[in-house]
Amino acid sequence: RMSRHAQQLRDHDRNPCVAETDASRKCMDDNNYNKDMCTAYFLKYKSCRKFWHDIMMQRRRSGVKPEMPSAEERKKILESMG
């Protein structure tokens, strides 16, 4: 059974970067934990976190709740950006 924190990390409505997390972890598993082989995955994860963190901060400043858009809402935001 997963801890509450682990469940939150797997929750697509709370964590916008589940796919990037999984891809990084898989790369590490596939490459015997050689970080140099997974740099591209780490960068994708890092930019995902930064992008959604910036949106969350904008929403917080504007008083928008919830601060993190739902998975469905995030999909629309990304589609609107092309």
User: How far is 45 from 23, CA to CA, in rounded Å?
Assistant: 9
SS3 at position 71 = helix
Asked if 9 contacts 15 with a C-beta cutoff of 8 angstroms, the reply is yes
Nearest-10 Cα torsion for 38, 40, 43, 44: -110
| CB-based contacts of 81, cutoff 8 Å, min separation 6 | none
Supply the range of the domain harboring residue 24.
Answer: 4-81
Could you give the number of structural domains in the chain? 1
pLDDT tens per residue across all 82 residues of the chain: 778 888 877 888 888 999 999 999 999 999 999 999 999 999 999 999 999 999 999 999 999 999 999 999 999 999 999 8
